[in-house]
Amino acid sequence: MQDRSTHSVFLGYIIWIFGFIGAHRFYYGKPISGTLYFFTLGFFFIGWIIDLFLIPSMHEEANTRFAVGECDYSVTWLLLTFTGIFGLHRLYMGKWVTAIVFFLTGGLFLVGLLYDFWTMNRQVDELNRGIIG
């Protein structure tokens, strides 16, 4: 039986430490609430604390929504989070041209970086399903 896990619970909890800015919500494919958390400091830290108990269910939901494949979600998210302005996450996904653009423009002047936070799970899912190449 193939492992169906796309996202890591462990990484989810590590990212939760920065969850008051929405990091764990972006990771589990919830960009709208991630953005709300970003602007409200995790709904004034209350939502952030509640999410400590919701991570297992967010993990299960992400596993059912996204496809397993060659491109690893956790690796991509780590690269995006810590080296996004240099485009290493795009290099990892095989998107060489936009990786170079990110490197030369600081994540396309940070707008491209925000776009990737919103769409990274979908981008990896499409790569894993063979929808884009």
The DSSP letter of residue 85 is G
**Domains of the chain: total:** 2
Which pair of structure tokens corresponds to residue 2? Answer: 């193939």
Whether the full predicted model's pTM is greater than 0.85, yes or no, is: yes
User: Crossing angle for the helix pair 73-83 and 9-16, nearest 10 degrees?
Assistant: 20
Find the domain containing 123 and state its range. 73-129
pLDDT in tens, the chain (133 residues): 456 799 999 999 999 987 778 889 999 999 999 999 989 999 999 999 999 999 999 999 999 999 999 999 999 999 998 899 999 999 999 999 999 999 999 998 989 988 999 999 999 999 999 987 5
Contacts of 131 (CB under 8 A, 6+ apart): none
pLDDT value at position 20?
A: 76
Residue finishing a domain among 65, 88, 112? 65
